[in-house]
Structure 1
Amino acid sequence: MPISPEDESDRPAAEDTADVLSSALTSLRISGNVVLHHTYGAPWAVDVPASNGLAPLFGVGSDARIVVFHLVERGEVVMEHGGETVPIGPGGIVACFGGGGHRLRRGRARALKLADVLAGTVPVPEPNGRPDDTRLLCGAFVLRDIALHPLLAAVPAVLSANALDDDLAVVTGLLARELGRGRPGAGFLLDRALEMLCASLLRAHLARSDVGWFRALREPRLARALERIHRAPGEGWTVDELARVAGLSRSHFAEQFTEFVGESPMAYVTRWRMGEACRALRHTERSIAEIAADLGYASPPSFARVFRRHVGVPPAEWRRNIRPSPMFQPDT
């Protein structure tokens, strides 16, 4: 039974926002790797492939996204992405959540391929003690369950932040301390720190975003409705029930939700359900009938029709095509 607006209003708005972001992050099954931590002497340039080109290195398929990040510990670099030039100064960090290929450079030089740099088959410019030396920490977040995910539809293709700010400083400081020291438990701590870095970047974006899904999370009444959808996707949601959870009139709720989130409340419910279905098909042994019932569908055929409309193939075929793979673990 939906909670009344009066009961829901006793719940802190920040808690609803945190729960929505937490459920979204958890559903992505984030992991990460550091692939480079080195000082380079100018000039140099490296071409980084798009997510699909990197997927074989990480043992994942097209249902995952490789989000490359670059943290400048010392010096400065330029990133060329999608026809734009993004300067990154000391303490700057960028993450390519859109999964696009890009070039990272200091000065002008013939670009090396990232795969060749990682394999050690090409010489890289060593530091020469000049001011234009650059120390980089480069890695990747692997987002494993991206199907129909609202967070990825809302986050910028390139997200920039200052690694010296607040939570980011704590996480990047932990990364820097643990890398290369070989202390007991370092591998475990690095894995957790990379997950925290990804989450901290997205939380920092949430705090300053004025558009889309992230903006909706900052609106207490909409965040309340989103939290309930994420917590109980199989409920028999209607616009009226969600408006009651939000404590708004039906028309005002529908208007505000669509304006902020970018789609109607029921379209969002369906998309979140289908994303949950993809995750259940991949990570559990539950039957399609059980998954359909869990997500509020009266019959497997009705569920299958909606699934195919959103995903492009029937649930059984989608499940057959998913093959979990071990992660690539580069030397650091």
Structure 2
Amino acid sequence: MEDKPYSDDSSLISKEPGSSTVPRNARWTYNTESDPLISLVPEFVMFGSDEIRKALPLFEHEHPGCYEFVLIERGKASWELNDVIYETQAGDLFYSRPGEKHRGGFNVIEPCKFWWIIIAVPHHQGWLRLSPEESKLIEQALAKLPRVVHIGLNPVESFKKLKKALMNESPLQSMAVRHALLDLLLAFIQPGAGTSAVADDLLRQFDMLIDKMGKEPEWRPSVEKLAAFAGVSASHFYRTFQEYTGEPPITFVERLRVKEACRQLTESQDSVTDITHRLGYQSSQHFATVFKRFVGVTPTEWRKARSGSGMQTGQA
């Protein structure tokens, strides 16, 4: 993102798709500071997609005069803004307002896939070629928008259209870019179009399971056991649970366990070994390996970094 808030190894990041070497973390960006300006769309600033396969630091940054919107396509990510942590999963939109300093939760971006866009605030007549009344309505809607809102995955297609428009220069490029931007803004301020195909009764079972997972982090159910709890086949459970949460069931369970470990490491003085056994890990070494895969640092490094700091949890 802007000003390189990521700390990454450039050998693992690929801007262009189709590289002969499969990157561990893949990134595609379009930045008007270095790429050609889009004629007739001065509101467009920066856009990109990231597929994070190994946790990376994501440091504090801001975008003066601009909104930043992030849509999670797969996996989960947390964001820190004004000392509040906001949790997001597949289909969730997180956004920051102009000049707000924000970062990955605890300075880390977890393994996930997401799209993001930075766009200038409505500040002149003819913003995105809209009437003053229309641009004012968008600005008012954004002011009322919750910090995290579930909008579903339908907007991913608009992100892909925007990427295609940026990659293909043509006399109609500005129109295509503007059209994709308006599609995205409408999806952001009018959530509800991204409805789920999962039956309501199964969604209730998922919510009950997720609640149980959170309250009993040492619980290690198999997919078959989870499916039996929900009353569906294992294959159907796996597919629909991943559609609902953005992650396979066992990965989701493991992430909740690591999240609980973060809480205990921050709020208690218990040893890493004690926490390891309490959460059902067979050894401290295995716990440290799993923890670092999700968070990017070892449990000991985490505790040292968070020592003495308190954190609130943001509600979507």
Query: TM-score, length-normalised on structure 2?
Result: 0.42
- Indicate the structure with greater helix content: 1
| Greater relative contact order, per chain length (Cα 8 Å cut-off, separation 6+) | 1
- Structure label with greater radius of gyration: 1
